[in-house]
Chains A and B, each alone.
Chain A
Amino acid sequence: MYRYDEFDERFVRERVAQFSDQVSRRLDGSLTEDEFKPLRLKNGVYLQLHAYMLRIAVPYGTLNGRQLRQLALIGERFDRGYGHFTTRQNLQFNWPKLRDVPEILGLLADVEMHCIQTSGNCIRNVTADHFAGVAQDEIEDPRPTAELIRQWSSLHPEFSYLPRKFKIAVTGAEADRAVTKAHDIGLRLRRHPHTHEVCYEVSVGGGLGRTPMIGKVVRDYLPKADLLAFLEAIMRVYNLEGRRDNKYKARVKILVHETGTEEFIRRVEEEFAQLDGPSINADPEEVARIAAYFAPPTYEALPAVSRTLDAMKAANPAFARWVEVNTTPHKAPGYTALTISLKPVGEAPGDATSEQMRIVADLAEQFSHDELRVTHAQNLVLPHVRQRDLFTIWQRLGEAKLASANIGLITDIISCPGLDYCALATARSIPIAQAIQHRFASDTRQRDIGELNIKISGCINACGHHHVGHIGILGLEKRGIESYQITLGGDASENAAIGEILGPGLAAEDVPDAIERIVNVYLAERNEGESFLANVRRIGLSPFKAAFQEVVHAAA
């Protein structure tokens, strides 16, 4: 894991001191609310419906045990004993008091954490594949790139007041687990077919929200050494030409769309050619220094398959099922990457109590080389687990209600906080997720349905990624009541696609029925081994629309 150097350390400590002073000046009236608001937002402090909210950056979703334990402590001492992991791999506390925030920031700085780049029109916290460094399909660990971008973009004087927020995601694998195509910039490490050199595929202009767009590839093979200069060229074109007259048209996706991809590429390449690359690109020594922090841990030499694991699985079907669903093949023989579900049926997706955080921190320290990850799907990962330790881990997780075997299944729902917390929301999300989870709680049924991603947003800003859900649910207000629009066929993977709307909005209580009817069409129509999404792609929307209409008519 990356460790702060003296500059990082000084930077976050100075920020804490500055913010403490800003809060004091707000309270004594020297700063007005209009002056103070952008300052608090630059430190992750939002005002929500019931309280302030503090969003803490988890750079590229990587944490160690000590950090998670500190988050647990903050949750207990200054919040209500729980936190919410977000779709941008961050953590939000829902109830902090403004008077306590300076102290909280100090506690975060103690463990090399902060809330910078979690708000405002800047380059936000960079996200990455949660299986970085361990996935078998990986070409290169994306985190050194993400960390380099973090250092380059933090307080970048030219890019601190962009037309709008700017999100970058990086993956180094063939399967896209970081939704890179729905980011302002998506980077994919790949090998050049002829030179075999590792390069970046650079996509620009992806994004969800009001105007969902899939990112357009602007460079197929960017040499790694040119990364920062090329990013700078993109940011310059955006900073100069992105719209500032209308916040709904201010994201880079609109610029790319309105300019046309070809012309956008031309402008970026022109800017790139004029930039003094060597003065912008990172010093190879610094790149190597950063990369060294992400060197894999020393793995034990183990057989590819653990006999202990096999014996435990044979003796315990529930455990076997959990291993089947929640583990991912690992680069190192005898190891596995374990996903811990934060989606027990009936709980708010992504919420974890302080007690649960401590248990996961303990497990990370004891069994995963003191490392864990936050996924954009609001789960946690122990990335370096010996297969033979899985049974012990499973038992300990079970005691903490963290042993749900549902990763990638219909109850592993992505959900934003929605109107239960969020001031921007137009409808609630969490109760919809809970109702669907209850409807499909049966393990047998979930297993029969197989991979199915439901994603729920409580407003058009799409924090819940509904556009790229196999089934997407968007909560809106219609004539003074909550109304839910259902989309079908979205895809967050390397084959990213925006889902299509099935029909008119539904009342909250009709949503589980609608989902069930959609699922039933799939179960009736699927070929052997055909996933939900593949089935939707093959048979098209019509049969699903017809089934959906029955719910609409029944409700009318």
Chain B
Amino acid sequence: MAVAPKRVPLPAILLANDLLDGDVVFASEQSQGALAWTRDPGLALVANDDTAAEQLEAFAVTEFKAQHVVDAYLVDVSIENGVAVPRHYRERMKTLGPSNRPDLGKQAGDGIQAERRG
């Protein structure tokens, strides 16, 4: 399973790739505290303590087993203007898209607009 044995520093978010579509998804909190995936990095649930991080890890395991996602792992973030931003540039790329193509990927709203409309 993709969750690292040693947990990243907190705060952290959970990201993964959707099994069928391959794009990056983030664990977010739905009504009544249930977790679900979103395409929008702005909606990612931020785990600030061990309990929240464990909940995300458990979600990663369940969702992987349920054939919904692959390559799920926690990413440490800093909060910038109220938004969780991965601290490492590699993971930041996953929340944005290719830097040479601002017209593609999450930075261009790929999958996010449709989700908001939905």
Taking the complex as formed, is B64 at the interface, i.e. its CB lies under 8 A from any CB of chain A?
yes
Taking the complex as formed, is B70 at the interface, i.e. its CB lies under 8 A from any CB of chain A?
yes
| Chain A residues positioned under 8 Å from B99 (CB to CB) | 420, 428, 430-431
B97–A97 touching, CB < 8 Å? no
Question: B2: nearest residue on chain A (CB-CB)?
Answer: A33
Question: A51: nearest residue on chain B (CB-CB)?
Answer: B22
A113 to B7, CA, bound (A): 44
B69 CB to nearest chain A CB (Å): 10
Taking the complex as formed, is A481 at the interface, i.e. its CB lies under 8 A from any CB of chain B?
yes
Interface 1/0 per residue, B63-74 and A, CB below 8 Å: 010110011000
| Chain B residues positioned under 8 Å from A348 (CB to CB) | 100-101
A419 to B20, CA, bound (A): 22
| Chain B residues positioned under 8 Å from A97 (CB to CB) | 20-22
A47–B89 touching, CB < 8 Å? no
Q: Which of A50, A96, A421, A480 contacts B24 (CB 8 A)?
A: A50
Q: How many residues of B sit at the interface, in one of the four size bands?
A: 20 to 34
A477 to B88, CA, bound (A): 10
| Chain B residues positioned under 8 Å from A49 (CB to CB) | 24, 90, 93-94
A33–B104 touching, CB < 8 Å? no
> Given A33-B70, A50-B94, A431-B99: A481 and B105 within 8 A (CB)?
no
| Chain A residues positioned under 8 Å from B17 (CB to CB) | 47, 51
Taking the complex as formed, is B19 at the interface, i.e. its CB lies under 8 A from any CB of chain A?
yes
A98–B20 touching, CB < 8 Å? yes
Interface 1/0 per residue, A473-507 and B, CB below 8 Å: 00001001110000000000000000000000000
A52–B22 touching, CB < 8 Å? yes
A99–B24 touching, CB < 8 Å? no
A445 to B60, CA, bound (A): 54
A431 to B89, CA, bound (A): 15
B75 CB to nearest chain A CB (Å): 12
A175 CB to nearest chain B CB (Å): 32
Question: B19: nearest residue on chain A (CB-CB)?
Answer: A98
Taking the complex as formed, is A356 at the interface, i.e. its CB lies under 8 A from any CB of chain B?
no
Taking the complex as formed, is B23 at the interface, i.e. its CB lies under 8 A from any CB of chain A?
yes
A310 to B56, CA, bound (A): 70
Taking the complex as formed, is B98 at the interface, i.e. its CB lies under 8 A from any CB of chain A?
yes
A461 CB to nearest chain B CB (Å): 15
Question: B17: nearest residue on chain A (CB-CB)?
Answer: A47
A288 CB to nearest chain B CB (Å): 45
B98–A421 touching, CB < 8 Å? yes
A80 to B111, CA, bound (A): 14
Taking the complex as formed, is A29 at the interface, i.e. its CB lies under 8 A from any CB of chain B?
yes
B89–A50 touching, CB < 8 Å? no
A114 CB to nearest chain B CB (Å): 20
| Chain A residues positioned under 8 Å from B106 (CB to CB) | 50
B22–A96 touching, CB < 8 Å? yes
Interface 1/0 per residue, B23-43 and A, CB below 8 Å: 110000000000000000000
10 contacts between A and B (CB under 8 A): A47-B70, A50-B97, A51-B17, A51-B21, A51-B23, A419-B89, A420-B100, A434-B100, A480-B88, A480-B89
Given A26-B19, A482-B89, 19 more A-B residue pairs with CB atoms under 8 Å apart are: A27-B67, A33-B64, A47-B17, A47-B71, A49-B90, A50-B24, A50-B94, A50-B106, A51-B17, A51-B22, A51-B23, A95-B104, A96-B22, A420-B99, A420-B100, A421-B98, A426-B90, A431-B99, A480-B88
**Which A residues are closer than 8 A to B by beta carbons?**
26-29, 33, 47, 49-52, 80, 94-99, 348, 419-421, 425-426, 428, 430-431, 434, 477, 480-482
Closest 9 A-B residue pairs measured CB to CB?
A: A52-B22, A420-B98, A51-B22, A430-B100, A97-B21, A99-B20, A29-B67, A49-B94, A50-B105
